[in-house]
Amino acid sequence: MVDWAAHAAARTSRLKPSAIREILKLTQRGDVISFAGGLPSPDLFPTTTIGAATERVLRRHGATALQYSTTEGHPPLREWVAARYANVAADDVQIVSGSQQGLDLVAKCYLDPGDAVVVAAPTYTGALRAFDPYQVRYRTVETDDDGMVPEALEAALAAGAKLLYVIPNFDNPTGTHLSLERRHAVVELAGRYGVPILEDDPYGELRFEGAELPHLRDLAPERVIHAGTFSKTLVPGFRLAWLIASPEALEPIRRAKQAADLHTSTFVQAIAVEITADGFLDEHLVKIRDHYRSQRGYLLDALDRELGGGDGFHWTRPSGGMFVWMTVPSAADGTPADTTALAHDAVAAGVAYVPGESFYPDGGGLDGLRLSYSVATPEQINTGIARLGELLRRATLRDV
Amino acid sequence: MVDWAAHAAARTSRLKPSAIREILKLTQRGDVISFAGGLPSPDLFPTTTIGAATERVLRRHGATALQYSTTEGHPPLREWVAARYANVAADDVQIVSGSQQGLDLVAKCYLDPGDAVVVAAPTYTGALRAFDPYQVRYRTVETDDDGMVPEALEAALAAGAKLLYVIPNFDNPTGTHLSLERRHAVVELAGRYGVPILEDDPYGELRFEGAELPHLRDLAPERVIHAGTFSKTLVPGFRLAWLIASPEALEPIRRAKQAADLHTSTFVQAIAVEITADGFLDEHLVKIRDHYRSQRGYLLDALDRELGGGDGFHWTRPSGGMFVWMTVPSAADGTPADTTALAHDAVAAGVAYVPGESFYPDGGGLDGLRLSYSVATPEQINTGIARLGELLRRATLRDV
């Protein structure tokens, strides 16, 4: 017999299963209204368009679309990605199998054991999972409704760091975005301390209102590795995304990608080219933004109704994306909130959220929780938030 | 400015670009006949079947086939894979994005820096590329026409090893397969020295003749992680493959897979299920085997004709797969062969192969070269081997 656990590499001790996925399993019960998952709404999947595009790809390019391909990615897809950004050439684009792979490859190429990564607290749990096996340390940065607080960021960078991870637009889990002023502050500080930036932007195209703000990459192209994806705009099931950076920054990443999986599926890359060739995505984005904007409205209205009574509950009011972050006050008797403990009561009461703790690398976040409005119906939002409101008021010894 | 090279992690110094991919670039010239690539023949891609399967998937299961999915893989695909093996349950199957990702994940979970991996010399260059970034050492095992020589294997294992990597069937690059007796010897020796086995089997279903031999996993299910793939039987462009091992062995691999890319494309997994549901693959394999069997015949006939004159050239006679391995004798004046140096002369003469050096982790292999018969036409095989024969006889100072 092989004792596999004893045989495992040291880095596996840092591999944790996703807390979110564990909670999602609990919510399979039909009567639980879930605000836990971050799934895009399947009603928005352009199934017919994908079918027609696949038919054309197989008819015109079957032999190449089904064959091995280059590690860098399918050239016309790299051209298309480059054209969606300012001052990006196809050589600056590396196709990856979902943003998650982009995060993994950046960590693999730029983080040695013991290196410090600066992250917001809270931050995307999947990024922490991607970085963890490289045996890194974290320096966390306090955030407010405009994202990372510059003074806190400077303190983290000054303490020594190898990489700064930022989600500038409609953050997972907070829903907030970095203001223009803060964007300039972030790249200025990173430059001053000589730290490269990994800019993760899955939600930037899901803006509901207000002017588009520049990417961090636009402000400091030589310092930033930018990650974009089709997962929230087209479909997540393709596992199709990209990194944008200078060829120098991408050079080890390309070799690491070749070692990790040779290349991303040629077939889905060719289909994505066919789908996007005629401007379809921009038309489709109008529909997606309209849908999530309405969903956000239902959720914020329900929260205002159920918990807006001045009892110290706070939540963000996102201008895009899929998430609202709530902080829960201490109970009337002073007992601090514990959203992890409450999560099980919530599921028992027929409503699910993701406890804030999942988004903190080093503990903390017990007063926070993430709510996603992406898939629930308006009725489910009203019922689910009524359940959550009652639970939270009761747990904090407020009027029920 | 960021000095990306200075910023790179130590492991990147071990990341090398694939020599094969570099040679493939040289062979883009239209008049070079290439035996270098290991690409499946695109004439065998079941394009119509894939199109019909995609249409059905989108019509019946669009919302799930395009959504995020479980890290373990699409349940019906795992069931299908399990059913193709003896004594394998769906829980023993992990879907991965090509075998290459399987090799990467096994290395990530089971190899610490400095650990020794036992490999055949020569062995698959992509496996070396997958293992390299984990900063491992190699112990190489001499091979003959029946695969790894047991005495050499025992010496390597006795010297201390963390993992044994084996391609039992129609090896890349040699084309040979492990005899039944050797299979028993390999698992017995691995057991005696307490070393787990990574069994890489991309070519096992491409057997031209003779009885099927048991997988190493069949002989020692508790000790083996087995890797299988659709790349050589269906299409490589899906990037769809699987690992088979005990749930204990797969446990860290699942967490590493989640961190690396969440899961493999749901869309291609659903299409593969649809394609394979009605027994299509077994019918298709008959066609694939017939084609490659003929191709092998053309290549061996050409080699016999051009270099079969008793001048010390040796090549393998594979019973399956895509590859022939040749060893080139020293020149008549005693100068040792150098297939790396000759590769450029060969391209200039209009023929390409992969130099043997690429398949040795620690140098060596300068007398070897790999020939693939998968994509050339019979005429190209005859012309290309005539060119190669003349070049090699001239280089070794034999009669031209």
Residue range(s) defining the domain that contains residue A104: 47-278
Tell me the residue type at A347: V
pLDDT of A18 over the 70 cut: no
Task: Average the pLDDT over B97-109 and give the result.
Answer: 98
Answer whether B265 sits within 8 Å of A237, measured CB to CB: yes
What residues have CB less than 8 Å from A335, skipping those under 6 apart?
none
Determine how many CB atoms are found less than 10 A away from the CB of residue A34.
24
Same domain, A143 and A229: yes
Give the angle subtended at the CA of B197 by the CAs of B183 and B134, to the nearest 5°: 145
Mean pLDDT of all residues in B213-229: 98
Whether residue A361 is found in the same domain as residue A250: no
In a domain, B387, yes or no: yes
CA dihedral B290, B294, B297, B298 (to 10 degrees): -160
Enumerate residues 17 to 46 of chain B having a beta carbon within 8 A of any beta carbon in chain A. 17-18, 21, 39-40, 42, 45
Question: Exposed, middle or buried by CB within 10 Å (0-12, 13-18, 19+), for B310?
Answer: exposed
Angle at A72 between CA A71 and CA A74, to 5 degrees: 95
* Contacts with B, A 79-138, CB within 8 Å: 97-98, 100-101, 104, 108-112, 115, 126, 129-130, 132-134
The b/e string for B285-309 (b: 16+ C-beta within 10 A; e otherwise) is eeebbebbeebbebbbebbeebbee
Task: Provide the pLDDT for residue B19.
Answer: 67
Say if A121 falls within a structural domain.
yes
Task: Indicate whether B137 and B56 sit together in one domain.
Answer: yes
The 3 state secondary structure assigned to B33-62 is EECCCCCCCHHHCCHHHHHHHHHHHHHHHH
B contact test, residue of A1, A2, A55 with most B CBs within 10 A: A2
pLDDT over 70, % of chain B: 97
Q: Is B336 in the same domain as B369? A: yes
The sign of the torsion formed by the CA atoms of A379, A380, A385, A391 equals: positive
Domain end point (choices B256, B278, B300): B278
Q: Is residue A400 part of a domain?
A: no
Cα B203 off chain centre by: 7
Residue A175 domain flag: yes
Note whether B2 contacts A: Cβ–Cβ < 8 A: yes
What CA–CA distance (Å, rounded) separates B30 from A202? 42
CATH of the domain at B245: 3.40.640.10
Tokens of A322: 């899929």
pLDDT tens column, A118-157? 999 999 999 999 999 999 999 999 999 999 999 999 999 9
The predicted structure's pLDDT at residue A38? 86
Tokens of A10: 């040291």
B58: nearest CB among A15, A50, A194: A50
Lowest mean pLDDT among A24-33, A198-207, A228-237, B92-101: A24-33
What average pLDDT is seen over chain B?
Answer: 95
Does the structure show a pLDDT above 80 at A16? no
User: Is B222:A2 a contact under the CB 8 Å cutoff?
Assistant: yes
Domain count, chain A: 2
- Return the pLDDT at B21: 67
pLDDT of residue A21: 67
How many Cβ atoms from other residues are within 10 Å of residue B329's Cβ? Answer: 15
Cβ of A109 within 8 Å of Cβ of B8? The answer is: yes
End-to-end CA distance of chain A: 58
Tell me how many degrees the CA angle A266-A270-A276 measures, rounded to the nearest 5: 145
Would you say B289 and B340 are in contact if contact means Cβ atoms under 8 Å apart?
no
End-of-domain residue from the set B278, B308, B338: B278
Residues of A in contact with B262 (CB under 8 A): 98, 100, 126, 239
Confidence of residue B188 (pLDDT cuts 50, 70, 90): very high
Whether residues A18 and B258 touch (CB distance < 8 A) is answered with yes
| B41 and B54 together in one domain | no
Note whether B324 and B373 are within 8 A (CB). Answer: yes
Q: Does B187 lie at the interface with A, CB-CB under 8 angstroms? A: no
Q: Are residues A246 and A216 in the same domain?
A: yes
- Claim to verify: residue A147 and residue A64 sit in the same structural domain: yes
pLDDT band at B337 (very low <50, low <70, confident <90, very high): very high
- At residue A37 the predicted structure's pLDDT band, cuts being 50, 70 and 90, is confident
Encode pLDDT of A301-349 as tens digits: 999 999 998 899 999 999 999 999 999 999 999 999 999 999 999 999 9
pLDDT bin (cut points 50, 70, 90) of residue A1 is confident
Whether residues B134 and B249 share a domain: the answer is yes
Cα–Cα dist B165/B128, whole Å: 10
For residue B1, tell me if it sits in a domain: no
Please say which residue of A254, A278, A302 terminates a domain: A278
Parallel, antiparallel or unpaired: strands B116-121 and A368-372 = unpaired
- Residues A196, A293, single domain; the answer is no
Beta carbons within 8 Å of B63's beta carbon, 6+ residues apart = A42, A45, A47
Nearest neighbour of B133 by CB, restricted to A45, A231, A259: A259
Helix (H) or strand (E) holding A239: none
Instruction: Answer yes or no: is B319 within a domain.
Output: yes
Task: Report yes or no on A265 lying in a domain.
Answer: yes
Q: Answer whether B160's CB lies under 8 Å from B116's CB.
A: yes
H/E stretch holding B31 reads none
Give the H/E segment covering residue A197: strand A197-200
CATH of the domain at A290: 3.90.1150.10
- Same domain membership, residue A306 and residue A333: yes
Q: Are the CB atoms for A147 and A178 separated by under 8 Å?
A: yes
Size of interface A-B (CB pairs under 8 A): 253
Same structural domain, A41 and A102: no
Confidence of residue B123 (pLDDT cuts 50, 70, 90): very high
Q: Enumerate the β-bridge partners of residue B197.
A: B164, B224
Whether B267 is covered by a domain: the verdict is yes
pLDDT in tens, A5-14: 999 999 999 8
The answer to whether residue B299 scores a pLDDT higher than 80 is yes
A165 lies in the same domain as A288: no
